[in-house]
Amino acid sequence: MPYIGCMKMTMRIDDALLERVMAATGANSKTAAIDLALREMDRRARLVKLCHEGLGLSADELKDAIDTSYDLDEMRRRETPVTYARKSRSRR
């Protein structure tokens, strides 16, 4: 993945935490794991902001905006489970 507008820096990061993140996500490098974690935190923060600000719709408009045939449980039953395989990498 190309890194445009990025910088190299020195940080102190909990080794065990980084290993757990790499194992959980399948990231094949420390840089990829940190990039993924930062992007996920940014995504969550933007979601929280959106939830607090709302969509600019009234309660009645929100009711009309929701598809009544939407069934989250059915959608989850049909979804293919995701598995994260830990990729082997050499240790330094």
Please report, in tens digits, the pLDDT of each residue of the chain (92 residues total): 566 777 888 999 999 999 999 999 999 999 999 999 999 999 999 988 888 887 788 888 888 888 888 888 888 888 877 777 666 655 55
The pair of structure tokens assigned to 42 is 């940014």
The whole-number pLDDT of residue 30 equals 94
Task: Give the C-alpha distances (Å, rounded to integers) separating 49 from 3, 29, 59.
Answer: 26, 30, 19
Q: Treating both helix axes as pointing N-terminal to C-terminal, what angle do 15-25 and 30-53 enclose, rounded to 10 degrees?
A: 80
Determine the pLDDT at residue 54: 75
Are the CB atoms for 23 and 7 separated by under 8 Å? no
